[in-house]
């Protein structure tokens, strides 16, 4: 019987350090081999392009990411913590891997406020302008 995965303690600690401490702006996780735990893959303070370069073309990753942007000309920069669920097209078990992604957000909710989840199967869905357009208003 399938049970929802737990989150590795190091992932929780790094996510807690995102705000207000700004230790990192992205925490990248993957599922372990038996799908029982979200484990740390990498974490850091990266540009958006650097973050995207860390996502493999053929393996899923789950990212807690502080997306910084300017809502409109003359407005103050703002940021949102979002979850990116990257499950590239063609990955085996894609539907299950996409559906399980909500578990990470749910398990982290008491530690860090994740505003939204972006599920992506193609890289163009993760381009900076595409993400900002979702939250600009």
How does pLDDT run across 87-133, given as a tens digit for each residue? 998 888 877 787 888 888 888 888 888 889 999 999 999 999 999 99
Per the DSSP assignment, residues forming a β-bridge with 64 are 27, 83
Domains in the chain and their CATH numbers? 6-135 (3.40.20.10)
Residue 28 has pLDDT above 90, yes or no: yes
* pLDDT per residue as tens digits for the range 78-100: 889 999 999 998 888 877 787 88
Strand-strand pairing, 37-44 and 6-7: parallel
Mean per-residue pLDDT for 59-76?
87
Residue 14: name the closest of 79, 89, 81 by CA.
Answer: 81
pTM of the predicted model, to two decimals? 0.90
Angle of CA points 5, 9, 10, to nearest 5°:
120
Peptide bond into 20 cis (omega under 30): yes
Angle between helices 9-16 and 101-108 (to 10 degrees): 60
């Amino acid at each position: 019987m399938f049970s929802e995965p737990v989150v590795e303690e190091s992932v929780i600690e790094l996510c807690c350090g995102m705000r207000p401490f700004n230790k990192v702006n992205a925490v990248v996780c993957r599922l372990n081999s038996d799908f029982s735990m979200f484990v740390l893959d990498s974490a850091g303070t990266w540009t958006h392009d650097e973050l995207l370069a860390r996502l493999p073309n053929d393996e899923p990753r789950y990212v807690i990411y502080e997306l910084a942007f300017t809502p409109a000309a003359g407005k103050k920069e703002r940021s949102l913590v979002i979850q990116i669920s990257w499950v590239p097209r063609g990955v085996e078990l894609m539907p299950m891997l996409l559906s399980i992604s909500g578990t990470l957000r749910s398990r982290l909710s008491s530690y860090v406020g994740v505003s939204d989840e972006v599920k992506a199967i193609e890289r163009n869905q993760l381009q900076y302008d595409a993400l900002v357009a979702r939250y600009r208003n």
